[in-house]
Amino acid sequence: MTFELTILGSGSALPTSRRYPTAQAVNVLERFFLIDCGEGTQLQLRKSKIRLAKLNNIFISHVHGDHVFGLFGLLSTFNLLGRKTELKIFGPQALKEILYFYIQNFTEELQYKIVFNPVDGRTKNLIFEDKVSEVYSFPLKHRVPTFGYLIREKEKLPNIRKEAIEKYNLGVKDILSIKEGNPFHFNNKKIDPESLIIPSSKPRSYAYCSDTAYYERIIPWIKGVDLLYHEATFQISEKKIARQTLHSTASQAATIAKKAGVKKLLLGHFSNRYAELDSLLKEAQSIFPESYIVEDLDVYSVPENK
């Protein structure tokens, strides 16, 4: 039961020879979600061995080049590979024109449907769901309309204890009814539900926050996630530049992680001015010990919650 994040690019606006611009893939039980699509994303996807045919939903945080310049190439590659499956793209309204321009200028014949879903709103919104997963958008604080995304497993129904099935001779209807939390009677006696079920594991969740200034409004929206990616473009000594450009320092990212009570914090989107990131990591860990620096092609698996 995979719940896995692959870092495709962790650089900021100026890519380096080690860090591609921003892109990530999230695997929720073999559904793949792409978040942002900086230049070279399709090349990184090839290296990561993620099958392009499994990507049906793309979430774009904002229309700055380092988060979208890989879209045109990826969309063309889908076409050349003979894609027929509809592709959903979520992102701020400004993305619509970009996609329209692409289709007008770069597709001889587009063989699959691109459905654009504008993301908007001043709070957390459910924007996607299927049988097993949900995706929420929430506003971030940047120079253009920008959204973070929360991806989580759906609440799972509990399992029925084997011995209960035998003891009460439960049929399919009974089982479904009990799973859904309805009371169960046997010989006119109400049976304690705890004796019938094994509670399901807590749904796993991942939140993506890039690009953004320090923004406390997001705390309730990302409360308690298993994994949080928060941009850390600057170290604390550059907090003035961070404020001016509406980016965050590593300390600010760690403060958000701490206040939101997340389990693990991943830092990325580093300014290319830092040749090494030790001090950036240290300042984050002094506030939130479970802080990590991501590298391109890193994979973070979230184990099932007990």
Site residues for a second copy per CB under 8 A:
13-17, 20-21, 39-40, 42-43, 46-47, 63-66, 69-70, 72-73, 76-77, 80-81, 94, 97-98, 101, 105-106, 108, 143
Question: What is the closest distance, in whole angstroms, from the C-beta atom of residue 201 to a second copy in the complex?
Answer: 36
Nearer to a second copy, 92 or 203 (CB): 92
Residues forming beta bridges with residue 126, ordered by sequence position: 136
Question: What is the closest distance, in whole angstroms, from the C-beta atom of residue 66 to a second copy in the complex?
Answer: 8
Cα 263 to Cα 277: distance, rounded to the nearest angstrom: 22
- Count CB neighbours of 102 within 10 A: 16
Which among 36, 66, 174, 296 is annotated as catalytic?
Answer: 66
Nearer to a second copy, 70 or 203 (CB): 70
**Which residue type does 97 have?**
E
Q: Assess whether 226 carries a catalytic annotation.
A: no
**Which residue type does 209 have?**
C
* DSSP-based helix, strand, coil % in the chain, nearest 5: 30, 30, 40
Nearer to a second copy, 18 or 113 (CB): 18
Q: Are strands 114-118 and 227-231 parallel, antiparallel or unpaired?
A: unpaired
CA 48-22-79 angle, to 5 degrees, is 60
Nearer to a second copy, 13 or 209 (CB): 13
Question: What is the closest distance, in whole angstroms, from the C-beta atom of residue 244 to a second copy in the complex?
Answer: 13
Nearer to a second copy, 132 or 297 (CB): 297
Q: Which two tokens stand for residue 124?
A: 């957390």
Cα 3 to Cα 170: distance, rounded to the nearest angstrom: 32
For the chain, where are the E strands, in sequence order? Answer: 3-9, 23-28, 31-37, 55-59, 87-91, 114-118, 125-129, 133-139, 147-153, 159-160, 184-186, 189-191, 197-198, 205-209, 227-231, 264-268, 291-293, 299-301
Question: What is the closest distance, in whole angstroms, from the C-beta atom of residue 191 to a second copy in the complex?
Answer: 58
The crossing angle, in degrees rounded to 10, of helices 41-48 and 71-80 is: 60
Question: What is the closest distance, in whole angstroms, from the C-beta atom of residue 253 to a second copy in the complex?
Answer: 22
Active site residues: 66
